[in-house]
Amino acid sequence: MLVGEVERALDAESSDLLHHYHEAKRISGAVNQPSDELHQLRLRALEKAGAQIDFAILEATGRQPAGTQTATFNFYAPIGVVQAGAGSTVTVQQQIDSMGRDTILRALEVVQEALPAASGLATVDRAQLDEVIVEVRSELAKPEPNTLRVRGALTGIATTIQTLGAAAPAYVLLKGALALLGVHLP
């Protein structure tokens, strides 16, 4: 939601930038400039804000003390509902946007890098982890990834590596990626 709101604010409130750009192009006589130049500037700004939001989510999930029942939720992707209380059920339609996808892919990359150093991991677990990571990557490559499948796989990966000291940074990143999907791990 937050990235969407930032994007919405930029698009709704920044037509003056387009005006200034075209005016400067006209006056300077530089008519051959690439037409998507301004779009690139906008994308870079959104990436910067997206990174800040990622950090905020990581900080929020990293500070959450184990065993408590309270949490601060910073929603990144469009989300339909917050569920609270034992036994409550609800149907959620959730999508992974491109920044969420990048965050998950980055987290998976760090997990794979951490695996060779994780001596406490059985060979069979290592092979299964590799297999699941490949599955998540291929799911994310689809135009409309199955969020449920991605969420389930990431949760499985996170619970497998959470006790491995060598994979601690990877676990933090995965925790952040899962927070984007509405799963808050300790």
Give residues in contact with another protein (CB under 8 A): 1-2, 5-6, 9-10, 13-14, 16-17, 20-21, 24-25, 27-30, 33, 37-38, 41-42, 44-46, 48-49, 52-53, 56, 72-75, 79-82
Min dist CB 180 to another protein, Å, is: 15
Q: How many CB atoms lie within 10 A of CB 19?
A: 10
Q: Tokens 């499985």 identify what position?
A: 156
Report the C-alpha gap between 99 and 177 in whole angstroms. 10
CA–CA distance from 32 to each of 10, 15, 25, 28, 37 (Å)?
Answer: 26, 21, 9, 11, 11
Residue 72 structure tokens: 């601060």
User: Closer CB to another protein, residue 48 or residue 116?
Assistant: 48
User: Closer CB to another protein, residue 16 or residue 144?
Assistant: 16
User: Closer CB to another protein, residue 22 or residue 148?
Assistant: 22
Min dist CB 95 to another protein, Å, is: 14
User: Closer CB to another protein, residue 17 or residue 148?
Assistant: 17
Report the C-alpha gap between 155 and 111 in whole angstroms. 13
Min dist CB 71 to another protein, Å, is: 10
Min dist CB 12 to another protein, Å, is: 8
User: Closer CB to another protein, residue 29 or residue 143?
Assistant: 29
CB 99 within 8 A of CB 76: yes
Min dist CB 52 to another protein, Å, is: 6
Q: Kindly calculate the radius of gyration of the chain based on its CA atoms and give it in whole angstroms.
A: 20
For 121, half-sphere exposure in the C-beta direction (CA atoms, 13 angstrom radius) is 25
